[in-house]
Amino acid sequence: MIEDSGKRGNTMAERRQLFAEMRAQDLDRIRLSTYRTACKLRFVQKKCNLHLVDIWNVIEALRENALNNLDPNIELSVARLEAVLSTIFYQLNKRMPTTHQIQVEQSISLLLNFLLAAFDPEGHGKISVFAVKMALATLCGGKIMDKLRCKLFWVSLFAYASRVPHLPFPISACPAAILTFLIL
């Protein structure tokens, strides 16, 4: 129990640090909400090193963690989500030259906290498989056509559209900006 409260305090500190760094970028100065949100999501994407991961690496990590055949409504525990993110970032580090290695643990922690803030604001410790797939597919780097062609959006466009607006909530931004972010 004491360990949980220590982790929760560390999580809150990391979230505050991420938001403080975002404020230091002065992104709120951007007038149009769609561009402001897109810039904030791009900041999170780069801070978490997801701009280095393409959609095919995300699909591979989902398959390695047996999420490709799961019902989209099944909820993942935080530990299982952390395992998926670990797979993504450790595989990324294997592909990167030794001079460009990332801090894997920091990337995992930042992205995990961001996803929990977006899709589990009540703190239940569970996120649906579909939300994880959608968020990773949206935030990873790569061409938009590759992202749209991939089989991550199995359920339907409606289900995808109902989950995407949750991404900007942790950064206090406009949900309509997701389309602008995807194009950037």
The answer to whether the beta carbons of residues 141 and 52 sit under 8 Å apart is: yes
What CATH number does residue 103 fall under? 1.10.238.10
pLDDT for 149: 72
* CB-based contacts of 169, cutoff 8 Å, min separation 6: 117, 118, 121, 175
Instruction: Check residues 2 and 60 and name the one with the higher pLDDT.
Output: 60
Instruction: Check residues 164 and 77 and name the one with the higher pLDDT.
Output: 77
pLDDT for 183: 53
Min mean pLDDT across 77-86, 123-132, 138-147, 154-163 is at: 154-163
The answer to whether the beta carbons of residues 89 and 104 sit under 8 Å apart is: yes
Structurally, how many domains does the chain consist of? 1
Question: Per-residue pLDDT for 3 more than 50?
Answer: no
For 121-160, letters b (16+ CB in 10 Å) and e give eeeeebbbbbbbbbbbbbbbbbeeeebeebebbebeeebb
Average pLDDT of the chain, as a whole number? 81
Question: Per-residue pLDDT for 1 more than 60?
Answer: no
The answer to whether the beta carbons of residues 178 and 39 sit under 8 Å apart is: no
Which range of residues forms the domain containing residue 49?
2-183
> How many whole angstroms separate alpha carbon 182 and alpha carbon 71?
26
**Strands 75-77, 126-128: pairing kind:** antiparallel
The answer to whether the beta carbons of residues 159 and 140 sit under 8 Å apart is: no
What's the angle, vertex CA 71, arms to CA 167 and CA 159, rounded to 5? Answer: 40
Question: Per-residue pLDDT for 60 more than 80?
Answer: yes
Tell if the pTM clears 0.85, that is, is over it.
no
Residue 5 binned pLDDT confidence (cut-offs 50, 70, 90): very low
The C-alpha R_g of the chain, in whole angstroms, comes to 16
pLDDT for 14: 72
- The DSSP line for 40-76 is HHHHHHHHTTGGG-BHHHHHHHHHHTT-SSS-TTPEE
Instruction: Check residues 180 and 94 and name the one with the higher pLDDT.
Output: 94
Largest Cα–Cα distance in the chain?
46
Q: What is the pLDDT of residues 61-112, one digit of tens each?
A: 999 999 888 888 899 999 999 999 999 999 999 999 989 999 999 999 999 9
